[in-house]
Amino acid sequence: MHISEGVLSWPVLAGGAALTVAGTAIGLRKIDYDRIMSVAILSATFFIASLIHVPIGPSSAHLILGGLLGVVLGWAAFPSILVALALQAVLFQYGGLTVLGVNCFNMAAPAVLCYYLFRPMLLRGAGSRFAGAFACGFLAMLLSATLTAAALALSGDEFVGAAQALFVAHLPIMAIEGVITGFAYSFLSKVKPEVLGC
């Protein structure tokens, strides 16, 4: 879900950049520097995840793992995703530098939202853990698709069409993300719960 250079209008680009700067500032303040390596590892995971491409329909879709980043990192998802996206833009020409703000906000904002929505449920107990993490991965991607469609709509594309296309193309990926997030979270909570801060 990388929006390419030259698709969006200037007000949307500026708005996205401003929101990302704000989010990153909050994220940097909230990072626990004793856990900085988990931020780095998840940033690297996000960087790699987008290379795992699932061919669906006429478009191109790939994993994001936003939900996993969100539920583990909280606000630190912003700097983590920003670094990974900047490197993807520079090294692979995915997205671009002017759209970095919008792309980062589209991935990181749902991640942070999932942190607040699912964190209490995930900390409660083992029973609901997999289901909660699945919902988290699924919802993060759904919201990212919605935000991307909104960004496209604000620049002239018609929202309903773009949203439908994105939703249909990403529906199977939302399920895959949910499963991966579910397993990753359950695994981490068993093997290394301190990463999750429980």
Q: List contacts with other proteins (CB under 8 A).
A: 1-8, 33, 36-37, 39-40, 43-45, 47-48, 50-53, 55, 58-60, 62, 83-84, 87-88, 91-95, 148, 151-152, 162, 165-166, 169, 187, 191-192
Measured from the CB atom, the residue of 19 and 76 that comes closer to other proteins is 76
Q: Toward other proteins, which CB reaches closer, 69 or 117?
A: 69
Note whether 118 and 163 are within 8 A (CB). no
Distance of closest approach, residue 18 Cβ to other proteins, in angstroms = 20
Q: Of the two residues 93 and 128, which places its CB atom closer to other proteins in the complex?
A: 93
- CB 1, min distance to other proteins, A: 8
Nearer to other proteins (CB atom), residue 14 or residue 94: 94
Instruction: Report how far residue 177's alpha carbon sits from residue 68's, in angstroms, rounded to the nearest whole number.
Output: 9
22 or 40: CB nearest other proteins: 40
CA distance 172 to 195: 28
Q: Give min distance, CB of 83 to other proteins, in A.
A: 6
Q: How far is the CB of 187 from other proteins (least distance, A)?
A: 7
Distance of alpha carbon 24 from alpha carbon 107, whole angstroms: 13
Phi, psi of 54 (to 5 degrees): -110, 110
Task: Select 5 or 21, whichever has its Cβ closest to other proteins.
Answer: 5
CB of 87: closest distance to other proteins in angstroms? 5
For residue 34, how many other CB atoms are within 10 A of its CB?
Answer: 8
Burial 45-76 (b: 16+ CB within 10 A, else e): bbbebbeeeeeeeeeebbbbbbbbbbbbbbbb
> Does residue 156 come out as left (phi exceeding 0), alpha (psi in the -120 to 50 range) or beta?
left
Shortest Cβ 161–other proteins spacing (Å): 9
* 3 three-state secondary structure: coil
